[in-house]
Structure formats: structure tokens, C-alpha cells
Amino acid sequence: MIKILRNISNSNNKIIKDGLNKSFTGMNFYCSNIGEKKIDYTKQIPENGNISKAITEKIGKNLHCKRDHPLNIIKKKIQYHFQNELSDKEHRFQFFDSFEPKVTVKENFDELLFPVDHIGRSANDTYYFGGDQLLRTHTSAHQSQLLRSEKKAFLVTGDVYRRDTIDAVHYPVFHQMEGVKVFKNKVNNFIDGKPFDETIDYYEDSHYKQLSSVKDVENDLKQSLESMIRSVVGQDLKVRWIDAYFPFTSPSFEMEILFQGEWLEVLGCGVVHPKIMNNCGLSNDRAWAFGIGLERLAMILFNIPDIRLFWTNDNRFHNQFKGIDKSDSSSSFLSDINIKGVQFQQFSKYPSCFKDVSFWIEDESNFHENKFYEFVRESCGDLVERVDLVDKFTNKKLNKTSHCYRIHYRSMDRNLTNEEIDLLQFNLREKLENHLSVKLR
């Protein structure tokens, strides 16, 4: 498998590697927004929501459940390893693939200890129905529910939604797997002290992090995830661990793999925060959790250059993965899927073209790049390959800021005509001023 990874073309590999390094924490666990202006985002939830038609049309597609889809193949590869190599009498991993993506603010943020000023809560990042309902931003939204139901080992896979930039490795809907393993009665009150103490800062407390009950769970976590990633990517894969911060785990880590001479982050993980365990009635237990984005892993393994391809209906894409999964679909037991030698062969050589759009921002406090990207997606759909901010300046006399964006258009399955692109661009410009409170230049 390592040989396969080394054969990825330089241009495609650079796109994938840059995307991984640029957006890893957004794909898996949330990192801190330390240093940013403190804003209570719970008071800025849009009353009527901010979910576009383009997003609602994706709900229920469940690509991770479609047999022969590359995301389904990656999901099953990971599940197989947990079922056959990491399960025992005490911890037999259960799989949950069909939870609905509509969750509450409490489930998605509050129960996972996201502070009210965490950028992940912002309506510029998260899709809200309005009120306390939203499209989950991670499959961790179901963690507390399963912990309270006394599930001791589980994987949750599903579609997750975040407003984001437009390029080859970002898409507002992607697929994530969350894994959790609980160690019953792991807390020793004589050694560990109180199972949970509100006065302790568990993110920073070095004594807590060095407790044998915590170190045991940390070691099991790292060993389990190293064996999993090697079973999927290759046994001679080099792995290293980086300390990190996430709201719902402490200590927290990022896993990096050595890929074509560069270290790439592939997942985030950690020991579940004691407050979460306490809130779920499990104060005497410890647990670990991890999150991994399936698209990024599939793009690396199969040399898929554009994240839009996962959503295509073109059989030239899907036929390349058909029949790889030879397991019995009627059986509850998974078979290992041999993906050795499976590499996506590009069928689209269609040229791209670009159009620029420039505007003055009338109200900077109400403008965010993600709002513009969302507007472009809604107006032009998946024909947009990439959007770049190519120029930005402030006119001191007018006291206004100007942005110039370059919109790259490319279809994955046909040539686009100049007339077609001109019409898309014209319609986008026609609606832009009213939609975003900007002034075209």
C-alpha cells in the first residue's frame, strides 16, 4: 500500500497534502480559537436559519452507506479492523451509520463543552435550522446519547455539515467517523481522588494527565489507532503523535503519518473529558474518543483529486470501485476489503475557465467569506471548482474595503461553453448586492 501512495501524481498529491495540512482540524475535531475576539455565538443564531436549498438536497444521501462507493469502502475497512482486531469480550464495537443529521445545540456543542464564544458555533461556520436545531458539524454530537445508554465501544459514521471555502478538498457536506471506548471503573478514588472535581482545569492539570488511569487509556487509544491506520494504509507506515487541544478531550492528540516525505495530520483524538463522563453518569469510568474524515483518507488512498467526485452520478467514476467489496451484503459480519492497486483513473480532461467579481463591502461587521462562498455554491452549484481571494485593499478616503474573487468553473463530465459560464456569472452578479449587502465595482 505504501508503494501505491508513492505513485500518486505530484500535482494531485500537492492538492491533497495542502488540503490536509490546511484544514485537518476542521475535518475531524475542533481546535481552539484562542486569541480571537470573545463573542457569544449562542445569541447570534439566525431566527429563520441559514440552510440553503443546495444543502437540504444533500440530506439523506448517505454516501457512506452506498455499497461500492469509495466512502463506504473506507468505512468498512475501518469497521472491519475494529470488529476483528480491536474487539474483545468486554469491548465489542457496535456500529451506528444511520443517525439523523438534525441535532440540537445541546447535543452538538453544549454537551461537548464548547464555550459560547467558540468559533464553531458561529452561523458563518454552522448550518442552523433556527432556534436550537442545526445540522451536526461532527458525529460527536451523538456521543453523550450513546454513553448514557451504556454503550462501551462504538463507531458512529455519518454526513456532517460545515460552511467552508471552495476548492478541491473542501465541501460543505462531508463524512466523519467517531469512535469511543469506555473503560469501566477505571477511576481509583484512593489514587485519583474525587472522580470529578469542578475546581480542576483538566485541560492544563499535569497531575491528572499523569494518573495511571489516564495514561492507560491514552496508551490503549494510541495503540488502537496506530493498528487501525496501518491496516488501512500499510503496515510499514510511520506514525507520530502531536499534542493538541479539543474542547471535549484531555489530554488530546493529533495523529500524523509520513506520506511522500511529509507529515500529514489524519485524525484527532484524546481521553474524554471527565466532565462529560460525569454528566453521563460515568464519573468512575474513563474513555477515549477519536474522529476521522473519510473523504480525506479516500482521496489519499485512491488518488481522487477533487472532493466533488464523491457526489457525482457519473458511472465512469463509480464503475472504478464496483466489485471491490466482495463481502456478503446480507451478513452482519464484515470481510476485509482488498484495496491494493485500486487507483482512480481520471476521465475528465475538460478545461477550466475563470471569471472575476469585485465589490466594496458596505458593512464589514456583517460580511464573512463563508457567506460569499455559500452564495456562490447556491448560485452556481458544483460547476464551481475553486474560489480564490485574489485582491483585497482598503480605500481610506471611502473607509471601505474591496474584495476581488476569482471563480474557477470546471465540469467533471463535460465541456462548459462560454455562454453557459457567462450566464452563471451574470446571474451571480445580479443577485450579489442584495444578498450580501455589497456594492459591485
Q: Are residues 313 and 366 in the same domain?
A: no
Is 268 within the bounds of a domain? yes
- Rounded CA-CA distance 224/218 in Å is 10
Among 318, 334, 369, give the residue marking a domain's end: 318
CB-based contacts of 128, cutoff 8 Å, min separation 6: 45, 46, 49, 50, 51, 134, 135
Q: What is the CATH number of the domain that holds 112?
A: 3.30.930.10
The confidence score (pLDDT) of residue 7 equals 39
Average pLDDT along the chain: 89
State how far the alpha carbon of 422 is from the alpha carbons of 196, 409, 418, 426, 436, in Å: 61, 11, 6, 6, 21
Q: Are residues 220 and 306 in the same domain?
A: yes
Segments forming the whole domain that contains residue 394: 353-440
Is 335 within the bounds of a domain? no
User: Grid coordinates 451523538 are at which residue?
Assistant: 142
Q: Are residues 310 and 372 in the same domain?
A: no
Q: Are residues 43 and 94 in the same domain?
A: yes
Instruction: Please determine, for residue 288, whether its predicted confidence score (pLDDT) is greater than 60.
Output: yes
Q: Are residues 364 and 412 in the same domain?
A: yes
* 171 contacts 54 by C-beta, under 8 angstroms: no
| Assigned C-alpha cell, 402 | 474591496
Q: Are residues 302 and 359 in the same domain?
A: no
- The string of pLDDT tens digits covering residues 151-187 is 999 999 999 999 999 999 999 999 999 999 999 999 9
Among 318, 342, 374, give the residue marking a domain's end: 318
Q: Are residues 398 and 312 in the same domain?
A: no
Backbone angles phi, psi at 279, to 5 degrees: -65, -25
Q: Are residues 417 and 305 in the same domain?
A: no
- Rounded CA-CA distance 111/142 in Å is 10
Q: Are residues 296 and 401 in the same domain?
A: no
Is 326 within the bounds of a domain? no
The confidence score (pLDDT) of residue 94 equals 96
The confidence score (pLDDT) of residue 37 equals 64
| Assigned C-alpha cell, 16 | 491533497
Instruction: Please determine, for residue 292, whether its predicted confidence score (pLDDT) is greater than 50.
Output: yes
CA 420 to chain centre: 33
Is 61 within the bounds of a domain? yes
Q: Are residues 61 and 179 in the same domain?
A: yes
- Across 84-101, b (16+ Cβ under 10 Å) vs e yields eebeeeebebebbbebeb
- The string of pLDDT tens digits covering residues 376-411 is 999 999 999 999 999 999 988 888 999 999 999 998
Q: Are residues 388 and 285 in the same domain?
A: no
Is 224 within the bounds of a domain? yes
Query: pTM for this structure?
Result: 0.89
Q: Are residues 293 and 423 in the same domain?
A: no
| Assigned C-alpha cell, 133 | 436545531
Instruction: Please determine, for residue 16, whether its predicted confidence score (pLDDT) is greater than 70.
Output: no
Q: What is the CATH number of the domain that holds 357?
A: 3.30.70.380
Among 318, 342, 367, give the residue marking a domain's end: 318
Is 334 within the bounds of a domain? no
Is 336 within the bounds of a domain? no
Q: Please count the structural domains in the chain.
A: 2
